[in-house]
Amino acid sequence: ITFVLETFLPKLSGGPGSGKGTQCAKIVNNFGFKHLSAGELLRREVASNSEYGAMILNTIKEGKIVPSEVTVKLIQKEMESSDSHRFLIDGFPRTEENRIAFEKITGAEPDLVIFFDCPQEEMVKRVLSRNEGRVDDNIVTIKKRLIVFEALNLPVINYYSKRGKLYTINAVGTVDEIFEQVRPVFTGKQLIG
Ligand code: AP5
């Protein structure tokens, strides 16, 4: 999910390897949001050896979901310490519990939510061919991440669909082809930064 927050908060959603991070970089370059990736914030927390670091690392290795209070706090801290009011949230909320906790704690709702719809075999292929060597990029963990995604993320997507905030993007094709579907979502809403 990509979720845009300000008065304007877009959110990006999609399975592991659907291309959320790649498209976020292009959205930021073209439309000037502050990008907040839940996965990156968690990996940064692990690298800093914080009190939650070991628990987060184990959860990521297992392909499971880190508790909401941890992710919401990390995102909230980043939002509060930023000069921007235009946030592009990537990979959050992943569960109904995430969504409810975020809305309760921050009082914020996304202006729009983008879902990258990608076949599982394509997501697996992309994750396994990624060359940055993440601890969760192996066939055992990716299968667990896909199961978690199907079970927990799809209800969140359905929720935003019912609220009329969901834009579904066909995430198969080149990075530029996919971005040409994403661009009108932002230009149509006059979200040019
Ligand atoms: P996170 O880092 O968010 O990982 P993910 O959702 O599994 O997604 P990825 O980062 O693997 O993929 P992506 O969709 O961003 O695709 P990318 O652009 O990189 O989360 C990791 C873990 O953290 C989770 O499993 C969980 O444990 C924990 N976590 C995260 N958020 C949480 C939350 N809210 N609550 C609790 N726990 C949480 O692309 C993938 C590859 O494909 C790249 O190599 C890229 O170059 C390539 N690629 C991209 N687009 C294309 C294309 N069009 N064609 C060909 N290749 C492409």
Q: Give residue-wise pLDDT tens across range 65-111.
A: 899 989 999 999 999 999 988 899 999 999 999 999 999 988 888 88
Name the CATH topology of 2-187: Rossmann fold (3.40.50)
Distance 18 CA to ligand 1 centre (A): 7
DSSP assignment letter at 82: -
Distance 16 CA to ligand 1 centre (A): 4
Q: Supply the pLDDT for residue 191.
A: 47
Residue type for position 89: I
Residue among 1, 20, 132, 179 to mutate when testing ligand 1 (max atoms within 8 A of CB): 20
Residue 189 has pLDDT above 80, yes or no: no
Ligand 1 atom index nearest CA of 62? 27
pLDDT in tens, 114-140: 999 999 999 999 999 998 879 999 999
Cα 177 to Cα 23, 84, 97, 101, 171, distances in angstroms: 11, 29, 33, 35, 9
Q: Name the residue ranges covered by the structural domains of the chain.
A: 2-187
ipTM: 0.92
In this structure, the residue with its CA closest to atom 2 of ligand 1 is 39
Q: What is this structure's pTM? A: 0.90
